[in-house]
Structure 1
Amino acid sequence: MRESSPMNAGDGAYSYTKNSTVQRDAASGVKDAIKEAIMENFDIEKVLGGLTTFTIADLGCSVGPNTVFAMESLLETVEHKCRQQGLEDREFQLLFNDQIGNDFNTLFAALPQPRSYFAAAVPGSFYGRLFPCSSVHIAYSSFAIHWLSKVPDELQRKGSAAWNAGRIHYSDDSSEAVLEAYADQFQRDMEAFFRARAQEIVPGGVMVIVVPAVPDGAITFSGGVAFRFLESILSDMVKEGVIEQDQVDSFNVPNVYPCVKDLRRVVERNGCFEIVKMEFGEVSIGKVEPENSIMIIRAIFEGCMANHFGAMVVNQLFVRAMQNKLQFAEILNSAGIQGTISQIMVVLKRI
């Protein structure tokens, strides 16, 4: 199976464009805090060093309006800071990065015309280098770094202590071997991520990260109940002979939901960034109906699952999910998930 997949393309009923309101609301919930941190900690004149072009990059931009809103919000903040520092006649370029298979066509069709900035796509994994040395002034990433570069190897070896039979993710009752496999892969990926960004971001530049997360000491992400729901449907499909048990046992979602301690450790180990702000919080996303929740889950995970199970099986999976939406509503209610999402907001300054 391919390790990960972009979000659903286009602007149809199952697209990420139409089904990413939770991510939008979560990022919007910390927009003012991000603006404040940039205004207080960012010296544009010093960072530009005589250059006239200012560069902002979105890492893991996906497709749809969310990245456009986020990038233009950052641009507005920078323009305000430029006026405050008496810097006129600056040009701005916005760089949109995601996997090679991302639907950049739909993304760029959503950009305003005319616009006050230059825009370009930068395809590739953000776990490696994407930009020239010291060329990015602000890097931004929202709801992206919890995607691993690959499923941990240990989870894919039948008979290993981390063989995650019957499960598609981890939770409080997972074995230590499963938890360690996920944690170790996240650590390796984050080390690669920060190593690359340390080379690309100019001294004094800023990196902003928003990531779904758990409190220190916790394991299971609040939204993880969705994985239990999908597991129950897959189990039924196995019993009916639609798929084989080995297909379920060998599939694992390549996501890790970190805590502040996890991120602080990797930033401090990298040693190239000052932590300006790193906060865990519950952000309001409004009431999301079970049917809408299932559509959001499909927009996010359909590609990843289809790579493993096949498109026809995954379509049937989500048809069954809709048929059981009342059961899903009960699961959400019993888990106490009511209009909020837990996340970490990070603002770092390149030393």
Structure 2
Amino acid sequence: MASESVSSQAMMGGDGQYSYARNSEFQSHGVETAKAIINRVISDKLDLNRVASSSSKVFSIADLGCSVGPNTFNAVQNIIDSVKLKCQSYGHDKLEFQVFFNDLVSNDFNALYKSLPSDRQYYAAGVPGSFHNRLFPKASINFFHCSYGLQWLSSTPKELNDQNSPAYNKGRIYYSRGPNEVVEAYSAESAKGIESFLLARAQELASGGLMALIVPCLPDGISPGECSVLASADLLGDCLMDMAKMGLLSEAQVDSFNLPSYFPTPQELKALLKRNASFSIEKFEPLALSAQRQLATNTPTVVSHLRANLEMLVKEHFGNGIIEDLFDRFSKKIDESSVYSQTSVYKPLVENVIILKHNT
């Protein structure tokens, strides 16, 4: 049965064909590209004095929105290697490392634990819960990492399902084709979530600690409908409407289904970050992704990646029965469209690496 609104769900778990673990190469490239930037900022800006002078000498790292698969382990290991290198440079005693892997309660933590590196040199723990809320004791984390997570909303704006609201999103599942009222509702919900995220981290991050974010953004100066990722989500919505017209599901089900993600522009995001006086922006720059990464947009890859991200949401709202038919239709829609072939019309997201430092 359809729910009244769509809440965020974890990525597809396990290690099957459409799992996030096997369909997160795009994110893997971003994490890998961001390493050098994160390393430099750790070397220049991380304050280890508090940790080195404590009796426990424990350096705590939290990866927020860790999902499953190797990306979270690679990101964490890079941070640890960089911190160790800085310790050696400054003659600090050897530290122990505690890593917290966080994601929603629906995340496949069993798959995560099974794939933990056997040679890891850190203590690992899972922390279920939304990163829009407090997760840790005050001043207990030295380094936060969150990649490809902040575009997700904790829930979709209520106005989208209100037939009396100008933001009622009838016949659409996203904001990219919607009127200004729909876009503004998404933007406001995103801003509220990012502000909650920052307020929570400001309390949890230790003095002198750092936070590294990788955030995909809508490029400044283009409309949502001109972005290939958002346009492909519209095609998925078209598939759902086609199925409704054929009687395979109801239009009411489609009308009440809205994707819980929003891609702010870099300008929007920077303004939100500056509002929180607890952090200084140490770095904010787009990732220089390889041409190979940018061109890896064949139909099977696009479909598999979107399915890994959205299958759990679709199942929660529509049930299991439509999945294969829906994504078969979506594959054909992608083949018929020019979303990924007309690069002069449709632009990719810009992926930004952002480093924040705790000011207190």
TM-score (norm 2): 0.92
Q: How does 1:256-295 map to 2 (within 5 A)?
A: 256-281=262-287, 283-284=289-290, 285-286=293-294, 287-295=296-304
Given that residues 10 and 107 in structure 2 are in contact (C-alpha distance below 8 angstroms), is that contact kept between their aligned partners in structure 1?
yes
User: 1:243: which partner in 2?
Assistant: 249
Aligned residues: 349
User: 1:331: which partner in 2?
Assistant: 339
Q: How does 1:298-337 map to 2 (within 5 A)?
A: 298-328=307-337, 330-336=338-344
Q: Does 1:206 align with 2:207?
A: no
Q: How far apart, in 2, do the equivalents of 1:108 and 1:40 lie?
A: 33
Return the offset for 1:283: 2.4
Worse-superposed segment, 317-326 or 130-139: 317-326
SS at match of 1:151: coil
Q: Does 1:349 align with 2:353?
A: no
User: 2:43: which partner in 1?
Assistant: 39
User: 2:165: which partner in 1?
Assistant: 160
The C-alpha deviation readout for 1:267-319, integer Å capped at 9, x for no partner, is 22221001101123552325232111101100001111221121212332012
Q: What amino acid sits opposite 1:130 in the alignment?
A: L
Q: How far apart, in 2, do the equivalents of 1:17 and 1:148 lie?
A: 22
Q: What amino acid sits opposite 2:262 in the alignment?
A: V
- Once the two structures are aligned, what percentage of the paired residues are identical? 37
Given that residues 213 and 258 in structure 1 are in contact (C-alpha distance below 8 angstroms), is that contact kept between their aligned partners in structure 2?
yes
Q: What amino acid sits opposite 1:318 in the alignment?
A: F
User: 1:3: which partner in 2?
Assistant: 7
Given that residues 284 and 354 in structure 2 are in contact (C-alpha distance below 8 angstroms), is that contact kept between their aligned partners in structure 1?
yes
User: 2:20: which partner in 1?
Assistant: 16
Worse-superposed segment, 293-302 or 210-219: 210-219
Given that residues 60 and 97 in structure 1 are in contact (C-alpha distance below 8 angstroms), is that contact kept between their aligned partners in structure 2?
yes
SS at match of 1:161: coil
User: 1:197: which partner in 2?
Assistant: 201
User: 2:134: which partner in 1?
Assistant: 129
Closer/same/farther in 2, CA of residues 181 and 70 from structure 1, 3 Å limit: same
Q: What amino acid sits opposite 1:331 in the alignment?
A: V
Closer/same/farther in 2, CA of residues 255 and 243 from structure 1, 3 Å limit: same
Unaligned runs of 5+ in 2: none
User: 1:71: which partner in 2?
Assistant: 76
Closer/same/farther in 2, CA of residues 251 and 48 from structure 1, 3 Å limit: farther
Q: How far apart, in 2, do the equivalents of 1:339 and 1:254 lie?
A: 21
Given that residues 278 and 346 in structure 1 are in contact (C-alpha distance below 8 angstroms), is that contact kept between their aligned partners in structure 2?
yes
Given that residues 283 and 342 in structure 1 are in contact (C-alpha distance below 8 angstroms), is that contact kept between their aligned partners in structure 2?
no
Q: Does 1:181 align with 2:190?
A: no
Closer/same/farther in 2, CA of residues 266 and 246 from structure 1, 3 Å limit: same
The C-alpha deviation readout for 1:150-177, integer Å capped at 9, x for no partner, is 0001112123110112211112x52121
SS at match of 1:332: coil
TM-score (norm 1): 0.94
Given that residues 172 and 178 in structure 2 are in contact (C-alpha distance below 8 angstroms), is that contact kept between their aligned partners in structure 1?
no
Given that residues 53 and 90 in structure 1 are in contact (C-alpha distance below 8 angstroms), is that contact kept between their aligned partners in structure 2?
yes
Closer/same/farther in 2, CA of residues 187 and 324 from structure 1, 3 Å limit: closer
Worse-superposed segment, 108-117 or 338-347: 338-347
Q: What amino acid sits opposite 1:27 in the alignment?
A: V
Unaligned runs of 5+ in 1: none
SS at match of 1:23: helix
Given that residues 235 and 333 in structure 2 are in contact (C-alpha distance below 8 angstroms), is that contact kept between their aligned partners in structure 1?
no
Q: How far apart, in 2, do the equivalents of 1:48 and 1:132 lie?
A: 20
Q: What amino acid sits opposite 1:302 in the alignment?
A: E
SS at match of 1:271: coil
Task: State the superposition RMSD in angstroms.
Answer: 1.9
Q: What amino acid sits opposite 1:16 in the alignment?
A: Y
Q: What amino acid sits opposite 1:327 in the alignment?
A: E
SS at match of 1:265: helix
User: 1:255: which partner in 2?
Assistant: 261
Given that residues 34 and 287 in structure 2 are in contact (C-alpha distance below 8 angstroms), is that contact kept between their aligned partners in structure 1?
no
